[in-house]
Amino acid sequence: MNDISFTASDGWLEKFKTRNNIKFKNIQGERAATDLSNISEFKTKFIEIAKKYKTQDIFNADKTGLFYKAILTKSLVNHDFEYLIKEGVKERLTLLLGCSLRR
């Protein structure tokens, strides 16, 4: 059974994954990192605070990171496979981006 003329088509691969219960899943990340129950309370407080300032004096800033040594976050795994890395690679370049409504 050394058939070297075998070529795997997209259909063959999809059927193989279905037969073996293989899914494309996140294998690392933070689960339930955000508490959504406080959103409406935050909005109300933010609006009250923002009313005290002129529009041109309101700024928005956020940080973003480039994890240059990060491992893969998604992979093809058996559906029953549960693998979660709680603390991923922390080495990163962090940027703080900001803007104002001033024109």
Residues 6+ apart with CB under 8 A from 76: 17, 22, 23, 24
- pLDDT at residue number 85: 46
Listed residue (42, 27, 32) closest to 88, CA to CA: 27
pLDDT in tens, 22-81: 877 765 555 556 677 888 899 999 999 989 988 888 888 998 888 777 666 666 666 555
Both tokens assigned to 11: 């259909």
- The residue extents of the domains of the chain are 24-30+39-100
Q: What is the pTM of this model?
A: 0.37
- pLDDT at residue number 57: 86
